[in-house]
Amino acid sequence: MELIDGKKISSEKREEIRETVNKIKSQTGKIPGLATILVGKNSASQVYIKSKIKACENVGIKSFHHNLDEKSSKEDIINLIKKLNENSEVDGILLQLPLPQNRDIQDCINSINPLKDVDGLHPFNAGLLNLSKNWDEIIKKNILVSCTPLGVMYLLSKSNIEIEGKTALIIGRSNLVGKPLSMLLLSKNATVIIAHSKTKNLKEICKSADIVIAAIGKPSFINRDFIKSGAVLIDVGINRVLNKICGDINFESVKDMNIKITPVPGGVGPMTITMLLENTLKAFYNRKQK
C-alpha cells in the first residue's frame, strides 16, 4: 500500500497560494476576499467554516463571515448574497451546505454572482464545465469548479497517477462531487463509470476499475473484495463512527494490498479547503478581467 498524502500536497499548494496573494498585494494593493455564510448552528458546518476562515488567514486572503439565524427565510439568505455580490472586496461567496431543512438550496445558489461562485454550483459554471472540450480549456478559462472534485484531480496529478485511458469509477452522483468529477476525469480522457444506490453488480464493476472514487457516505462500505491489485483508491467519505472519523473505504481491509489510497482523515479533506482558496484566487482574476 502507498499512501497519497493529502496533508503534504495541500500544504505545498497553500504555500504557492500564499506567495500569489502576497504578489497580488504588492503589485495592486488589493487582497482577494472570501465571504462565507452559515445558516443555523449545524455543528459539522461550524467546524468546516472555522477551518475555512483559518485557512484564509494562513494564506493572507480576507475572510468575511456571516452567520444567519436558523429560522432565516430564503429571502433573508438571498438578500445577504445580493449585498455580497455588490461588495467589491468580496471575490468569492460560499454558502455552507446543507441549509436547515434543505430549504430552497438551488434558488439561493442561483442568486450568487457566477463570477463569485467558488463552489462551482451555479448553473452557469456547471454549464461551462460540461461544455469544456478538455482539461486545458478548463484551466485556460479559469472555470470555477466544485472544490472537492478539483482537489481529487490535484491529488491524482501530484501523485503522478495516469488518468488517460484508465477506467475510473465514481461511486456517488451528487452535484457537489460525482457529477463534476465525472466531467473532470473525462476531460483527462478517462473512461468514466458512475455508480449509485441503484447500481447492480457494484462489486464486479468496482473490481474492473483502475481508479475508484468513493463518495457515498457509507462508513467502510468498500472493502478488499471490491478492489483489484494496482488500483488507486480516492476516499471522499467523512463519517463519524464511535467518535472516530472514517471514510467510505474500509482502510484496514485493503492496507496490505498493492494499491494507492488516500487516508481519512488527511487525504481529500485538506485539498477541498485548499481548492476553495485556489478558486478564490481564480474569482479574483476573473472579476478583474471584466
* Residues annotated as part of the active site: 52, 96, 119
Tell me the longest C-alpha to C-alpha distance in the chain. Answer: 57
| Separation between Cα atoms, residue 107 and residue 121, nearest integer Å | 11
CB proximity list for 93: less than 8 A, separation 6 or greater: 34, 35, 37, 81, 84, 85, 112, 113, 116, 117, 118
Q: What is the CA radius of gyration of the chain?
A: 19
CB-CB contact of 93 with 84 (8 Å): yes
Residues with Cβ within 8 Å of residue 63, at least 6 apart in sequence: 33, 34, 35, 36, 52, 53, 56, 57
Distance from C-alpha of 232 to C-alpha of 168, rounded to nearest angstrom: 9
Indicate the residue type of 148.
Answer: T
